[in-house]
Structures are given as structure tokens and as C-alpha cells.
Amino acid sequence: MSDDMNQFLVHKTWAVVGVSNNQEKFGYKVYAKLKNAGYSVYAINPGLESIDGDPCYSSLATLPSKPDAVSVVVPPKITEQVIRDCIDLGITRVWMQPGSENDEAIRNGKEHGITVIHNQCVLLHT
């Protein structure tokens, strides 16, 4: 496991952008795995009010506090906006799940001091 991954995993407050109520989807699997591993996890999906009894937020900007890390489980085009939101909010760690990666978002994030992990699934490392 890389040093960047280790630096992510020591932080205990995460947000999962693209969470789903469908237990077969990766948005749900990532959220549930992080919670079950003892992390404090915010769920983000503007189309949901709650997941597993926990509140679901419409965006990173609506969270009650800033997460230490963000896991992105959305289509690549939406990932670009997620990175812009992270830049605006001062979030410095973004883990793009396979299928959410976007070259422009990766470049933009790195140019703004965000540590970006991509081509790796957080499910394999938690």
C-alpha cells in the first residue's frame, strides 16, 4: 500500500459522494465498508434523504463539518465538480473509485494541492 493510501486511511472522517441505497452498487458498498471499519462517514447524494438510518446530504458544502477525505463514486463528468467543491472547501484528500476517474479532475486537484488516489478501490484497502 502506498504512503498516500496510508495517509488517507489514518483519517477517520470521510464523505462518500455518490452513495446509493442499492446494496449492489459501489456507492453503498464503499459507504458501508468505511462505516463498518470504524470511520465516521457522511453520505452524499442529492436524491436521497437517508441511508441506513443516517442522514444523506446534497453536497459537500452542506455537511456539518469538513471531512478529512472524500471517496468519489460518481460518473467522471460529475467528478470534475466534486474536485471543484473540494478546492473551494479546502478538502485535501480525494479517492476516486474506479469508473469515476477523470483526467481533468485529477490534474485540477493536484494543481490545487489535493492528494488524489485513482485506479485503486478503497474497498481493497479498508
pLDDT tens series, the chain, 126 aa: 466 666 766 768 999 999 999 999 999 999 999 999 999 999 999 999 999 999 999 999 999 999 999 999 999 999 999 999 999 999 999 988 888 899 999 999 999 999 998 876 565 555
DSSP state of 117: E
Count the domains in the chain: 1
Three-state DSSP at 112 gives coil
Residue 48, C-alpha cell as written in the block: 436521497
Please name every residue paired with 70 in a beta bridge, in sequence order, or none if there are none: 15, 94
CATH of the domain at 90: 3.40.50.720
Q: Domain residues for 34? A: 3-124
Residue 16, C-alpha cell as written in the block: 462518500
Q: Rounded distance, CA 114 to CA 117, Å?
A: 10
CB atoms within 10 A of CB 1: 10
